[in-house]
């Protein structure tokens, strides 16, 4: 996991920069960019992969592919949660947790929320794992 950590930080830095850049663009064209919520994730993952290939001159092995895929997806979710909370604090000044607590007491809500979260997370991890395979080999040939 030591090998993956610097590349996950590299991914996170690009994710933050691209979120701000594409967020500003999304304010100007909300109908277009509302559909592309995962675009900063995908671009950041591409840039992280390119950085890895330039630095290591090899495609990551199976274990490192899993570490990078899961690590980047986890960094994405943690960043999204922190950024969302900061956004709420900036816009509202405080957070009222009563509606959230009420929603969490509903089994149907928790089940649907957890299902959607797990499906999107599985998609992100598998997309990253796939991208670190054949596409990364093709990128390595061009570098």
Q: Tens digits of per-residue pLDDT, 33-48?
A: 666 778 899 999 999 9
Question: In this predicted structure, what is the pLDDT of residue 74?
Answer: 95
- Please compute the mean of the pLDDT values over residues 78-102 and round it to a whole number: 81
What is the pTM (predicted TM-score) of this model?
0.85
- What CA dihedral angle connects 106, 107, 108 and 112, to 10 degrees? 110
Look at residue 26 and tell me whether its pLDDT is greater than 80. Answer: no
Sign of CA dihedral 20, 22, 25, 27: negative
pLDDT range class, residue 25, cuts 50, 70, 90: confident
Q: What is the DSSP letter of 94?
A: S
Any idea of the CA torsion for 49, 128, 10, 53, to the nearest 10 degrees?
A: -20
């Amino acid at each position: 996991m030591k090998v993956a950590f610097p590349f996950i930080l590299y991914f996170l830095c690009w994710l933050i920069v691209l979120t701000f850049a594409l967020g500003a663009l999304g304010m100007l064209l909300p109908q277009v960019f509302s559909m592309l919520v995962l675009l900063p994730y995908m671009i950041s993952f591409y840039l992280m992969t390119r950085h890895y290939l330039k630095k290591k001159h090899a495609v990551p092995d199976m274990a490192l592919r899993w570490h990078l895929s899961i690590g980047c997806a986890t960094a994405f979710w943690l960043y999204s949660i922190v950024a969302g909370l900061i956004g709420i604090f900036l816009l509202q000044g405080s957070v009222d947790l009563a509606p959230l607590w009420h929603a969490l007491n509903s089994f149907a809500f928790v089940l649907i929320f957890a299902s959607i979260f797990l499906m999107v997370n599985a998609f992100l991890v598998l997309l990253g794992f796939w991208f670190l395979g054949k596409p990364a080999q093709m990128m390595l040939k061009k570098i």
